[in-house]
Amino acid sequence: MSTSPDTLGALVARIMERAEGLDEGYRRVGLLVAASETVTEGLELTPRLQTIVTVARELVGARYGALGVIGPDGRLERFLHSGLEADVVARMGELPTGRGILGAVITDQRSIRLAHLADDARSVGFPAHHPHMDSFLGAPIRVSGTVYGNLYLTEHADGPFDETDEAIIAALAAMAGTAIANARLYEQSQDDRRWLAASERLTQRLLAGEIDPDDLATIGAVARELTDDPGLEVDEAEPGRLRVRRTAGGHPLSDAERETAARFERSVAIARELARARIDQQRIALADERDRIARDLHDHVIQSLFAVGLSLQSVVGDPSTPTGARIATQVDAIDSTIRQIRQAIYRLSAPPGAAGYSLRARINTLVRETLEGEQLDSRLEFNGPVDTLVDLGLGDEVAAVTREALSNTVRHARATLVEVSVSVRGAGVVVTVRDDGVGMPETQRRSGLANLAARARERGGEFAIEPVVPHGTLVRWSVPWEAR
């Protein structure tokens, strides 16, 4: 039979009625008050729960008492007992884990009172050397409808437990629930603080360039270190999204922990993208600076040196004279310097793939050869450091996309003009092919276009084909210029 907890006044009255004299009644009420005070005393959970189970056993008059706390995995993570001698505990070995009648208190979420424990079919799982127990009273420990554990007593001094005993233990179970809930809230606040610190530190290190944004092993190690959680795992569930979880064998993340982890995932994901964008900006800035230096060397330094050389040559006179020979030597030195500067310009302008490779030249040749003999005007435009940032592998993709798009235009568009653009913008390479033709026929086979879309997906990019007003077709293919 289950009853709801009485008010504190009614409970005190019951305790006083059962006490043998006023002094004993006051002592028992004092125990109840002391138990209630433990709920708000300190932050260490175990001693508070130990006090509650000890007081429960004494108030009810039970020989044995115990309290179990449920962990995130649904099993008992903490088990406290009162009344068992140390040598008995040692002989029993493994303590209960929440099965049998103890599990029933948790799963049924109600008090269970038994006159004879052995008569209930759920009374199983007792370890060897467990002392004999007859009468039983167990109550769930819950807060706001959530079960946190159970409090139970056995071996009542006067036979079976009664309704007053059940009311007393229900009140103490409520106190234990409050203590556990407060402890969990405090632990969660500490966890939140550690996760926030880990997120801030990771963000700082990512933006400072100390950690590669794609180095998940290091990100996971830092997260484990800063959150003080050795069982933490960080991996990538899908492109652009982190997932935080516990390693196999560890407790799964609770709802509150999952929410905290989700905030961490979002924060680190944003930091990774910012770090990538910063790296891209630095590389583009470096490429632009190299281009600027190369232009300055070509347009100013070489021209100045060339002018000086011409001036000296005009006054050489007879090179067989000492003065003429010295001037001629200096002119040769200027020519040698100009050659060295030109080599430096070539190295500054060289793409990251191989020396001598130029995507601009390759696309120029491709467009000319594809449109040769066709009655089709063309325009070709390059924007950004195309030759500097696009490596050989991505250059092959750009060339293949340009060739396929142009071939579609030649075969199907019936156009008079096609415009091709290859641009490096921000962190991506964009290829556009636009014509003024009749548009995309409904009956056209789309295997070539599907191939372009597949190439974009493989590199984490996008592919689109759309009509142009008043007539024509625009093909747009964009991917990150560096594979992620």
- Written as six digits, the tokens of 324 are 């003429």
CATH code, 468 = 3.30.565.10
Cβ neighbour number for residue 476 with a 10 Å cutoff: 17
Q: Are residues 460 and 381 in the same domain?
A: yes
Q: Are residues 426 and 365 in the same domain?
A: yes
pLDDT (tens digit, 9 = 90+) per residue, 198-254? Answer: 788 888 888 888 888 877 777 777 777 766 666 666 666 555 766 777 666 555 666
Identify the residue whose tokens are 């001698």. 85
- Kindly state whether residue 177 falls inside one of the protein's structural domains: yes
Q: Are residues 16 and 136 in the same domain?
A: yes
pLDDT above 90: residue 432: yes
What is the number of structural domains in the chain?
4
pLDDT (tens digit, 9 = 90+) per residue, 441-463? Answer: 665 555 667 888 888 998 889 99
Domain that holds residue 120: 8-187
pLDDT (tens digit, 9 = 90+) per residue, 346-364? Answer: 566 554 444 446 788 889 8
- Written as six digits, the tokens of 273 are 């993208």
Cα–Cα dist 92/317, whole Å: 114
pLDDT at residue number 484 = 40
pLDDT above 70: residue 279: yes
Q: Which residues contact 150 (CB under 8 A, 6 or more apart)?
A: 67, 68, 102, 105, 106, 138, 139, 140, 141, 173
Is 476 strand, coil or helix?
A: strand
Is 252 strand, coil or helix?
A: coil
Provide the 8-state DSSP code for 214: T
Q: Are residues 20 and 94 in the same domain?
A: yes
Tell which of 169, 187, 205 closes a domain.
187
Cα–Cα dist 122/108, whole Å: 12
Name which of 161-175, 308-322, 421-435 the model is least confident about: 308-322
- Kindly state whether residue 3 falls inside one of the protein's structural domains: no
pLDDT (tens digit, 9 = 90+) per residue, 297-316? Answer: 777 777 788 778 777 777 76
Nearest to 69 by CA among 36, 101, 98: 98
pTM (predicted TM-score) = 0.44
Most confident stretch, 6-10, 22-26, 39-43, 82-86: 82-86
- Kindly state whether residue 287 falls inside one of the protein's structural domains: no
Task: Round the average pLDDT of the chain to a whole number and report it.
Answer: 76
State the pLDDT confidence band at 476, using cuts at 50, 70 and 90: very high
When pLDDT is averaged across residues 286-294 and rounded to a whole number, the result is 73
Q: Are residues 30 and 157 in the same domain?
A: yes
Q: What is the CA radius of gyration of the chain?
A: 40
- Kindly state whether residue 76 falls inside one of the protein's structural domains: yes
pLDDT above 50: residue 152: yes
Q: Are residues 177 and 227 in the same domain?
A: no
Q: What percent of the chain has pLDDT over 70?
A: 70
- Kindly state whether residue 293 falls inside one of the protein's structural domains: no
Q: Are residues 24 and 70 in the same domain?
A: yes
Cα–Cα dist 10/421, whole Å: 86
Q: Are residues 256 and 364 in the same domain?
A: no
pLDDT above 90: residue 72: no
pLDDT above 80: residue 420: yes
Q: Are residues 98 and 167 in the same domain?
A: yes
Tell which of 152, 187, 222 closes a domain.
187
pLDDT above 70: residue 92: no
Q: Are residues 471 and 367 in the same domain?
A: yes
pLDDT at residue number 430 = 93
- Kindly state whether residue 289 falls inside one of the protein's structural domains: no
Q: Are residues 77 and 221 in the same domain?
A: no
pLDDT above 90: residue 372: no
Q: Are residues 43 and 71 in the same domain?
A: yes
- Kindly state whether residue 27 falls inside one of the protein's structural domains: yes
